[in-house]
Structure 1
């Protein structure tokens, strides 16, 4: 039997983190070659594929496991904090109060509806909560943020990530088919995409088909949804804290507001009130995307398609129904804003 190297003994997470970095680079290459495929989506899919390969499973479950876990959790939280630097409260205010209220309404109604559907389908553990968070707010990034509070098992978080990736990717190709039949102009289509598509990269890939105006509206509406990540996760943290108190007062309780959520809010305030040079904002955006790509690859490797196909049909139904629900709610929000 070979003896582990000193590096492997002192930095057991290093091989897995390096693997995630390489995978993020490969995912970027896929996005560069096929721009319609968002970088983060490619990273998740690559992780899922690697997780299914028999030749890779021993490494995924063994030597690479510490680094994959660290990437999926800690790097995800750092990426969520940096995501706040994309948000300016001034840009959101520019949407108008009707658009803001309807966007918040879409998030709350889709979250509650998806959570109820997940409970109705008897999904295990925290899956209803994670699916509701990912579908209603900002995809896999939101699932990672919520996972930082409720501490689900790796496979429990992997299924929602796979579902939100599947449905978000479908949206890139399906929503444009209804653009003209629904009688939407470019701005309205961008609003619909921003309010109804899950991940920021998927929003960009979908809305850009209708031009720069649609893309600008879609991104601002989407980032308004992203802002809802902080209160939703904070409420979940309070509920989880009370559950710990009720179950066993001696158990360490999670903080009322997780540190990374506070960091996310601070980043939003910095972007709003501090004039940052483009070099800083562009660099933070790139770093945030790299970290999230690494984290999503790590999460993707925990997906087991055989298990998902065999026992996850209820989760698939939940995801598809939620996808339809959010698309309809977002379309209603567009029509309400147009009338107002």
Structure 2
């Protein structure tokens, strides 16, 4: 009995069980900061601010394992809800109102953008997951697309973090460069708007870049960009079908990811006009908050040591892919403008 008591006394205490609350509280705080900075500096997306906050925190004062459950919820379920709510920004009528020519440009930018970047990424020796994440983020809607694809293919944390860092860097560069290029080339507001909407990565960046050109360009750019966002649904479905063919029988993803169905349902509800304006406004804030929380959680995976280990090849792909998408967007804008 004495030996048993001694063994019990010498045994190290078990770590206290923690749930998702600590991690979710940190995500909520970071989201509040990101949205507050965005109010003060509207040109910078709260998603971008949240990613940067997460990256700075994890490299200066890494969070302990007690925060991991909450981070996992923010980067998966909350992210998918946010992407589904993103559909409330879209109207099928607005997209169809662009005309067949502009819709064809949107489809070509996404399809040939992803296809070209997958080919270049293979030549650079990048992993299939990493090149797919960077290709979709560059061709569709930036960090949100990276996170959506990551949720389907379940890539490594380093691949997702590198892809997010890549699209953030080059998307931010386009924010300043494309308005200057539109002015230098003496393009009209319609052509300039189509070019910006078809090329810039993030929705918020499109709003900022289009606004720099003028109100006429801004209106066109936002609708074209939302058309690219709508392409998230078919692209996710194709990726999911491809994953099903290669995954073991017990680990196959659904034919169509649930969050994609939610996204399409939100687009439909907005298009038929059954969602009141007040609900749309609240849903808009919730969508931005959820995606910002998810971006912060994903940003905590951006470790400088891991980026150094990966090397420059993902950023080379990002540079080539961004140039490719910008070229496709300009060619399409000139053809239909």
The normalised TM-score by structure 1 is 0.92
Deviation larger for 178-187 or 136-145 = 178-187
| 3-state DSSP of counterpart to 2:144 | helix
What is the CA-CA distance between 1:194 and the residue it aligns to?
Answer: 0.6
Aligned match for 1:167, one of 166, 170, 180: 170
Q: Does 2:221 match 1:242?
A: no
Q: Say whether the 8 Å CA contact 2:122–2:128 is kept in structure 1.
A: no
Aligned match for 1:44, one of 39, 51, 61: 51
Which residue pairs with 2:256 in the alignment? 257
Distance 2:269 2:28 in 1: 28
Q: Does 2:319 match 1:320?
A: yes
Distance 1:291 1:99 in 2: 31
Which ranges of structure 2 fall in alignment gaps of 5 or more residues?
1-11
Paired residues for 1:1-340 under 5 Å = 9=18, 12-53=19-60, 56-57=61-62, 59=63, 61-244=64-247, 248-249=248-249, 251-338=250-337
What is the CA-CA distance between 1:44 and the residue it aligns to?
Answer: 1.1
CA distances 1:131-181 after superposition (whole Å, capped 9, x unpaired): 111111011111111112111122221110111111111111111221111
CA distances 1:268-320 after superposition (whole Å, capped 9, x unpaired): 11111133221111111111001000000110110112321343300010011
CA distances 1:10-51 after superposition (whole Å, capped 9, x unpaired): xx2111111111111111222222222121111111111112
The normalised TM-score by structure 2 is 0.93
Q: Say whether the 8 Å CA contact 1:38–1:205 is kept in structure 2.
A: no
Deviation larger for 312-321 or 117-126 = 117-126
Greater C-alpha radius of gyration: 2
Distance 1:269 1:41 in 2: 28
What is the CA-CA distance between 1:121 and the residue it aligns to?
Answer: 1.1
Distance 1:277 1:311 in 2: 47
Distance 1:211 1:264 in 2: 30
Which ranges of structure 1 fall in alignment gaps of 5 or more residues?
none
Q: Say whether the 8 Å CA contact 1:140–1:164 is kept in structure 2.
A: yes
Distance 2:39 2:327 in 1: 32
Distance 1:2 1:211 in 2: 64
Structure 1 runs (4+) deviating above 4 angstroms are: 1-5
| 3-state DSSP of counterpart to 2:201 | coil
Distance 2:179 2:222 in 1: 16
The count of residues paired between Structure 1 and Structure 2 equals 326
